[in-house]
Structure 1
C-alpha cells in the first residue's frame, strides 16, 4: 500500500482529523454541535408531521418547506454521527468508498437545498406578482416536477465529483484535515494532477449556487417592485411579511455557502476557522429553518402549539 516516499496507491481507508489545531478542544466543541443537530432533527421532524397531515397546508410553499425539512434531516444524518465520533471518541477512520459516499450525499443535499430555495422564491414571485394565476401555474403536478428536476440536477452534477476522484490512484496522504469528507479536502490528498477535479468542483458550485442565486435575486427584485407599487401601506406590509422568512433563510444559506466555497480555494483563512464555519454552514440552517418558518407562519405555529398542548393534556 505505501511506497518509500509515503505515497498511497488506491487507499482503502482514510482518516478524518476533525479540526486541525483544535484537537484538544474537540470533545467540548462536540456538545454545541450535538445540541444544534438535536434542535434541527426535532424542528424538521415536527414540520414533516404537520405538513402532510394538515390539509390546509397542502399548498406549494408548504410542500417545498416539507422537502426542505427532509433535506435538512438528511444533512444532519450524513454529517453528525461521524463528526461526533471524531470529536468524542477520536474515531476518524473511514473506508475510502464510504468517505466518497458521505461526500456525495452532503454536497447533493446542499444542491437540493439551494434548488428548493429557488423553487420557494418562484412560489413567492407568483403569489405576489400574479396571485390570480398562482394555483393554475403551481399545480401539484408542476410542483412535483420541480422537485424531481431539483433532485436530478443535484444527483447528476454532484455525482461527477466522486467519479472523478475514483480516477485518481496515488495519494500523498490519507489524513483528511476536516470533520467530514468535503470535496476539496479529499481532492487535495491526491499526488496526481487534480486540475480536472478542481475545475469540475468550480463548475458544479457556480452552476448550482451561481444559477440559483441569480434567479432568486431576480425574483426578489421583481417582488419588491410589485410590493412597492401597491397603494395601501397595510397591503404592502402584509405582502412583504410573507417573504421575510424566506429572505432570512436565503441570506444565511448563501452567505455561509460562498464563504465555505471560496475559503478552500483562496487559502487565506485559517484551517480551523474554515472547518468550523463550513460545519456551521451545514448544521445551523437546518436548525434555524423550522424556527424561522414556525415563528413567521401562523398556520405552522398554531399546529405546533396544538401538538404540545395535546401531549401536555394526555399526561394529565
Structure 2
C-alpha cells in the first residue's frame, strides 16, 4: 500500500472526485448534452470503483473513493486517471476531474482547470488555491450574493475567509454568513450521498460570445423551452419541475430549480417558468457564456392531471402547438418555431 493511500485513509487527504463528463459543446449550439443517452453508463464507471456516487445530472457526479484506496492500491488522483481512461476507451468521452478532501474543493478544482484534465488540491494547497479566486467561484454564491459582497470589498475568497464571521452574518444573515465563512476556508462537511439520476431531459445553448443582453438570453430560453416541450410531447411525458443553469465567463455557474404549478409539457408554461427563474437571478451585467434548461421529475402524461381552463386563448395555443408538432414530425424540427425564439444557426 502506497504512502498516499495510507495518508488519505488516516487524514484529510484528497478522497473526493468531482467528475464532469464530456467536452464543452460548440459555441452557439442548442442541443442535448452529447452524452445524455450514456449518462448512466458513465456513472457506472464510478460505481465500479465505489458505491458512494452522487449523480449530478446532466453531466457530472461526485464520488467518495476513501474506501476504495486500499482495495485498488492507488491514490485518489490515480483513480481519477483510471476513470478518465475508461471513459475514453469505452465511450469516447473525455472527463474533467477535480480531486480534493471535500466536495466544494473538488468541484472548484475541476472548474478551475483546463477541460479534459485532472486537477488535485491537497490540504496544504487549499488556502493558496482559494485565496485569489473570485467570490463568485464559490459553489452556492450566485451573482446577486457576489454583488452584495463586492459592494463591501469582499470580492475574493481570501478576503471573505479573513472577514470576521459576525460581519458576514450582518451582510447575509446568520445561517448563510456562517456557511459562506466555512466555505471560504475550504470547509465543506457535506457528505457524498449515493443517488441515482432522476428521470429528466435537458437542452443547452452556448453563446458565440459572452452575452450581456437579457433579451437575447430570453430568446435562447424560449428556444430551449420549445425544444424540451416538443421532446416531452413526442414521448408523452410531462415535467413536474424545471431547472435553469447559467454558466458565466469565469467558468462559475448558478443553478436554480422551480416546481411547476402542474405537470406539463406545454411550451408556454415551460417558457414562463424559465423566464421567472432567469429574472429572479438579477443578472444585469453578468457575462453569460451559456444557459441550460432541464425538465425534472418526468412522468407519463397519462398519469398526470391538468386543470381544466375556460380561457379560449389557452385552448387555441394548445391546438396551434399540436399543429406545429405535426408539422415538425413531417417536415423537420425547423418547420414550426415560436415567434421570438433564437434563429437556427447554419451548420
TM-score clears 0.5: no
Q: Which has the higher strand share?
A: 2
| Larger RCO, structure (CA 8 Å, separation 6 or more) | 1
TM range (shorter): under 0.3
Q: Which has the higher helix share?
A: 1
State the TM-score, normalizing by the size of structure 1.
0.24
